[in-house]
Amino acid sequence: MSAETPGFAAALSQRVSGWLGRSTAQAVAATEQAALRSDRFRLEREGEWRRLEAIVMRIEAGRLRAVSDDDLLALPVLYRNLASSLSVARETSLDRATLAWLEALVQRAWFIVYGPRDGLRSWLGRFLGGGWSAAVRALGVDLGIALAIMVTGTVVGWLMVASDPDWFYAIMPGSGGDVRVPGASRAALYGTLFGNQDQSGLGVFAAFLFSNNAQVSILAYALGFAFGVPSILLLIHNTTVLGALLWLYHGQGLTWELIGWLSVHGTTELFAILLAGASGIHIGRAMAFPGQMAVLDAAAAAGRRTALVMAGVVLMLIAAGLLEGFARQLVDSTGGRLAIGGFMLAFWCAYFFGWRREGE
């Protein structure tokens, strides 16, 4: 038995060596075959890839006239073929650099074939040339609801502080040393409105009003998905501040002076809040009364309708900030301030409701 062992071991070693050799050879052959298929795959399609890249590069460089009619007609087909090739290429042994190039080319070609056709200038022209105003008018009854809520909030703020002046401190944000409090003299309140362009306190208060109203506008729209209830509450809360201020200055015979001080930027800023609140209410109403649509689908459709409105609200808030930072500080008379505020109110009303594009 012991004499046969070396022979058995040698035979086993030979068999193992042969098996390993065949396995290695098969692995090498499989690798070579895969590489051959990969090379063949690339060679068969690389011409189309290069052609598509050349077309995309010309269009991206703004040389559309340099693209032949045949290339333009072939562009969608070349893109679809490339997208199909990329899905296959990910399963083959193409190198990473080639895969990255193909993925980037697919993205670039997608924007050429399916991306937006207009640039920022063209979009802005359509937006300001009637798209924004049409979107505002499409809100319809929601604008009336938001306006009624804002008027109600102003009246409520007035009545609350008139019945109990302590409500003023709950409504108005407190700040140390602010003279705008119940019991303040006429001279003190008058001094907050005129002749203080260089005083930092007025600038701080103006900055607060702008930031507060901007936050209210954004939140009134963003929270519209809760059936519009938060939007309504925000409009009421924000306008109670206006009512409280009107009560305070009215008590000292400075009603028109305060209105003039606020109107310079307020006709624009409050209009922006009105549009944002109406947009939030519009979404809330669409969710509460979706009709034949699913609730989420109705909310999505309302969101698309109000997106243009909110893009304009941002522009209005910027304009209000500029008016607040410059015009109100430079104009130190009630008549001049009322003229600026009245002009801005007339401008927005005429733009949104008086002017129509052709075909509307």
pLDDT 10s digits, 294-324:
888 888 888 888 988 999 998 998 888 888 7
Same domain, 87 and 151: no
pLDDT confidence of residue 19: 57
Same domain, 332 and 240: yes
Same domain, 201 and 128: yes
Q: Is the pLDDT of residue 11 over 60?
A: no
pLDDT digits 0-9 by tens, 109-154: 887 877 665 566 776 777 778 889 988 998 989 999 999 999 999 9
Q: Is residue 5 part of a domain?
A: no
- Reference 285, options 115, 144, 171; nearest CA is 144
pLDDT category at 201 given cuts 50, 70, 90 is: very low
Domain range for 41: 35-113
Same domain, 255 and 335: yes
pLDDT confidence of residue 39: 66
Q: Is the pLDDT of residue 96 over 90?
A: no
The CA distance from 161 to 188, in Å, is 19
Same domain, 71 and 176: no
- Reference 214, options 318, 298, 68, 59; nearest CA is 318
Same domain, 85 and 202: no
Same domain, 154 and 289: yes
Same domain, 256 and 334: yes
The CA distance from 302 to 52, in Å, is 39
In the chain, how many domains are there?
2
